[in-house]
Amino acid sequence: MVITELLERNARLYGQETALVELSPTEERDRALTWREASLIESAQPDAPYRRALSWKDFDRRANRIANLLLSRNLQRGAKVGILMINCLEWLPVYFGILKAGCIAVPMNFRYSSEEIKYCLELADVEVLVFGPEFISRMDAIADQLPGVKMMFFVGRNKPDYAEDCGRLMNFCSSSAPPVAITQEDYAAIYFSSGTTGFPKAILHSHRALISSCETEQAHHGQTRDDVFLCIPPLYHTGAKMHWFGSLISASKAVLLRGVKPEWILRAVTEEKCTIVWLLVPWAQDLLDAIESGKVNLDSYLLDQWRLMHIGAQPVPPSLIHRWMQVFPNHQYDTNYGLSESIGPGCVHLGVENIHKVGAIGKAGYHWQAKVVDEQGQEVSGGAVGELIVKGPGVMLCYYKNQEATDEILKDGWLYTGDMARVDEDGFIYLVDRKKDVVISGGENLYPVQIEDFLRQFDKIKDVAVIGMPDQRLGEIAAAIIEIKEGITCTEEEINAFCQGLPRYKRPRRIIFAHVPRNPTGKIEKPALREKYCGGRLVEEQIRS
C-alpha cells in the first residue's frame, strides 16, 4: 500500500464525512480565497472565526484534479513539484495530487526569503511551483531568474502575470484517479532540513517512508475515527504532516488553525471538539502563562474531550510538562523525537504510559531501532554521553545531489542524528544537546540544553537559549540569552543567584536579556544568536522591564 491509497479508501468509505477544517480566527474574508469548489461555512456569531471544511470525497477529487492537471502538461514521472503555501484547506490536496501524478512533492518553508526560495528550487531541480498569495512579492523578485521552473500555478486571487490560475485550470481536469501506478520504492518527497546548523539540505524520501510514518503515528497515539486532531504547525514540515498522517490512516477529522494565540487554541478545541493537540514549546508556555496570569479562564471553554497533548520538534523542558499536568491533570502527555531525515516524529517515542519519565525522549519508536554510540560507532553504557543513531523504514534515501553529506550521516543503514544523548538504567533515552552546540569551556563539555532546562525553572523566565561565546582564556564560555515574561522585571544578579544551584563550571558566565528567536517548528535559532553575539562586536541588550 502507498499513502495515496489511504486517501482513496477514506473517500470511498467515508466520503461525506469531514476530513479537514480550516480556521482563520482573524476574519480573513478579504484574503485571496481559493478554488471555486471550496465550501464556505460561516458561523452565525459575528465574531466567529472564518471556517472552511472539506469532505474526504472532495479532498480526493481535488487531489485527482491536481494530478490530472500536472499530467496534462506532460510532466514526467519523478518530476519535482514545489509547494510554497501557508497552512490552508488547499495544501494537502495539492500535496496528494503531486503524489498521485507520480511526481515528487517539494514542500518549502513559508518563511524563506526570495533568495532562499530560489536556492531551494534550484537545489531540488523543481520544474513546477504551486504558490499562494502570501508569496507574490517574494516571487516577483525572482520569477525571471528560475530557468529550471517550467510552470508556475497560483492558488488564489489577483494572480501575477507570470503564473497560471490553478483553480480555473482544475475545473477543466477530471476528478477521477489518474492511471499512474505507484510503488513503495518510488520517490515521493523532498524536504529541506531546518537550517539550524547551516543552509538547508534537500532530503529525499520514498513512498515507503510516508506509509511507515502513518503506521508509526497511529501505533503511538491510537487515533480512531472519533478523534479530532488540532494541527497548528506548518504543513511544509515533516512534523505537522506526519502527525496528521494519524488522522489519515484512521479517517478522522483534522483542524488547521491559522493562529497560535492561547484563546484561539482553546476556542478551536471547544468548537471543533478536538481530542488531540500537538503543540510546540513556545505555544504551550504561552498557553500556561495566559491561564496562570488570569488572562484566559478555562471555565469559558469545553475541554473534557481533549485527551492528549503532545510536543516535539525540540527539547522539552520537564518543568513545562510538570506545569501542564498541574493545569490539565487528566491529559495524556507524550513527546516524539524525530528529524526530517527520519521522516519526522516517532523514531524515538516516550509513550503516554511513561509520564513518570518526563524529560526523556523515550525508546525506539514503532518499527524503529535506536542506540547511543561513541566516536567509533560503538554503543556506550553506564549512562555515558554519545551520539544518538536510529534505523528504520523512515530513514531518508539521501541528501539529494550531496553524496558527501549523505555519507557523513548514513552508515550501514543507521542515521547519525547529530544529537548527543544518554540512556538510563531503564533504557530510556535523554537528549543532552546537539553535537554542534556543545560548548567546550576550559576542557569541560557543557551541554546547553541542561543549562536551559535548569534556568526555565526560574519563574520569571519565559524562554532561554545558551550558546558558546569565544573566550581568550577558556576557549569558550556559556552565554545565556534570556527572555523575561511580559510585565516582569528581572536583573542579572537575580539570574546569577538562581544559578548557584548549578555546578560552578555549568553556570553561564554571560547573561543577555533579549528575545529568543525560534523557527516555525519551535527550534531555537542558535546560528542566528551566534551570528549576532559572537560574529562581531557584542551588542548589549537593555534589561526588559
pLDDT band at residue 370 under the 50/70/90 scheme: very high
**Which residue would you say has higher pLDDT here, 226 or 286?**
226
| Average pLDDT estimate for 462-473 | 84
Taking a C-beta distance cutoff of 8 angstroms, is the pair 543, 493 a contact? no
Query: What would the pLDDT profile of 519-528 be if each residue is shown by its tens digit?
Result: 766 778 887 8
Q: What is the DSSP letter of 379?
A: B
Please say whether the dihedral angle defined by the alpha carbons of residues 521, 525, 526 and 527, taken in this order, is positive or negative.
positive
The phi, psi pair for 20, rounded to 5°, reads -135, 145
d(CA 282, CA 314): 10
Residue 539: which pLDDT band, with cuts at 50, 70 and 90?
very low
What integer is the mean pLDDT of 481-497? 92
Q: Which helix (H) or strand (E) holds 121?
A: helix 114-123
> What does the DSSP assignment read for 32-89?
----TT-EEE--SSTTPPEEEEEEHHHHHHHHHHHHHHHHHTTPPTT-EEEEE--SST
Q: Which residue has the higher pLDDT, 344 or 263?
A: 263
Cell of 157: 486571487
Q: How confident is the model at residue 262 (pLDDT cuts 50, 70, 90)?
A: very high
Q: What is the pLDDT of residue 137?
A: 95
Kindly report which listed range (29-33, 57-61, 240-244) carries the lowest average pLDDT score: 29-33
Q: What is the mean predicted confidence (pLDDT) over 14-40? A: 63
The domain locations on the chain are 3-21+52-221, 442-534
> Which carries the bigger pLDDT value, residue 344 or residue 343?
343
Measured between alpha carbons, how far is 174 from 363 in angstroms, rounded to an integer? 46
Using N-to-C axis directions, what is the helix angle for 238-250 and 3-14, rounded to 10°? 40
Cα radius of gyration (the chain):
23
The mean-pLDDT minimum among 199-213, 268-282, 378-392, 509-523 falls in 509-523
162-171, 386-395, 435-444: least confident range? 435-444
Average pLDDT over residues 267-292: 92
**Higher pLDDT among residues 440 and 496, named by residue:** 496
**Mean pLDDT computed over every residue of the chain:** 88
Lowest mean per-residue pLDDT among 91-95, 277-281, 373-377, 473-477: 473-477
Residue 476 has pLDDT above 90, yes or no: no
3-state class (DSSP) for residue 239: helix
Q: How confident is the model at residue 450 (pLDDT cuts 50, 70, 90)?
A: confident
Question: Does 37 score more than 60 pLDDT?
Answer: no
**Is 545's pLDDT higher than 60?**
no
Amino acid at the residue 214: C
State which amino acid sits at residue 506: K
Average pLDDT for residues 52-78, to the nearest whole number? 96
Q: Give the pLDDT mean for 342-359.
A: 90
Q: Which of 170, 186, 126 is nearest to 3 (CA)?
A: 186
* pTM for the predicted model, two decimal places: 0.82
Q: Which residues pair with 469 in a beta bridge?
A: 477
Instruction: Provide the residue type at 203 as one letter.
Output: I
C-alpha closest to that of 314 among 280, 354, 340: 280
Question: How many Å apart are CA 524 and CA 314, to the nearest integer?
Answer: 8
Instruction: Tell me the per-residue pLDDT of 106-119, one tens digit each, with 9 for 90 and over.
Output: 999 888 889 889 99
Measured distance CA(318)–CA(460) in Å, rounded? 17
pLDDT at 359 over 50: yes
- Rounded distance between C-alpha atoms, residue 377 and residue 461, angstroms: 38
pLDDT at 473 over 70: no
Q: Give DSSP secondary structure letters for 263-274.
A: HHHHHHHHHHT-
* Spatial separation of the C-alpha atoms in residues 54 and 39, rounded to whole Å: 7
Instruction: Give 200 or 95, the one with higher predicted confidence.
Output: 95
Cα(305)–Cα(332) distance, rounded to whole angstroms?
A: 12
Question: Can you name the residues that pair with 190 across neighbouring β-strands?
Answer: 204
Residue 506 φ/ψ region, left for φ over 0, alpha for ψ in the -120 to 50 degree band, beta for the rest: alpha
pLDDT value of residue 268 = 94
Give 534 or 372, the one with higher predicted confidence.
Answer: 372
Tell me, what's the pLDDT at 20?
A: 97
pLDDT at 175 over 50: yes
pLDDT exceeds 70 at position 511: yes
Q: Give tens-digit pLDDT for 218-236.
A: 999 999 999 999 999 889 9
Indicate whether 274 pLDDT > 60. yes
Query: What kind of fold does domain 442-534 have according to CATH?
Result: GMP Synthetase; Chain A, domain 3 (3.30.300)
Q: Is the pLDDT of residue 447 over 90?
A: no
Coil, strand or helix at 167:
helix
Q: CATH assignment of 3-21+52-221? A: 3.40.50.12780
Mean pLDDT, range 50-57, rounded to an integer: 94
What average pLDDT score do residues 274-278 get?
96
Give the whole-angstrom CA distance, residue 244 versus residue 56: 14
Question: Distance between CA atoms of 421 and 387, rounded to whole angstroms?
Answer: 6
CA 181 → CA 4, 5, 19, 103, distances in Å? 11, 11, 25, 11
pLDDT at residue number 46: 41
Q: Tell me if 39 sits within 8 A of 53, measured CB to CB.
A: yes
Q: What local confidence, expressed as pLDDT, does residue 536 receive?
A: 36
What is residue 533's predicted lDDT score, i.e. its pLDDT?
A: 86
Distance, in Å, from the CA atom of 458 to the CA atom of 260, rounded to the nearest integer, reads 24
Average pLDDT over residues 500-523: 85
Amino acid at 436: K
Indicate if the pLDDT at residue 36 is higher than 50.
no
Q: What share of the chain has pLDDT > 90, as a percent?
A: 67
User: Which residue from 422, 424, 421 is spatially nearest to 433, judged by alpha carbons?
Assistant: 421
Q: What is the mean pLDDT of residues 298-326?
A: 88
Average pLDDT of span 457-472: 88
Residue 290 Cα distances to 266, 319, 462, 485, angstroms: 11, 17, 12, 11
